[in-house]
Amino acid sequence: MSRIRRGGFIFVTFVGDHAPLHVHVYRDSRLVVKWDLEHHQAMEGISTRTIVRLIEMLVEEGEL
């Protein structure tokens, strides 16, 4: 499991989690969105531009 704090959110990925590759995004201990990294869309919850930009930055940095 990896946890990354960025922009007031916590981004969590689990090793060996089910497909597709995705990240769980939390704020104040509540799930905001589960984001599909392969298809670039929300699997659960609602994403904002801020969250999408943060995810893109983390992917570019090799963190996700």
- pLDDT tens sequence across 24-50: 999 999 999 999 999 999 999 999 999
The torsion region of residue 37 among left (phi > 0), alpha (psi -120 to 50) and beta comes to: alpha
Output the pLDDT for position 16. 87
Output the pLDDT for position 25. 99
Tokens of 63: 């963190």
Output the pLDDT for position 7. 97
Please give the C-alpha separations between residue 41 and each of 30, 44, 46, 50, 55, in angstroms, as whole numbers. Answer: 19, 9, 10, 14, 11
Contact by Cβ (8 Å): 23, 13: yes
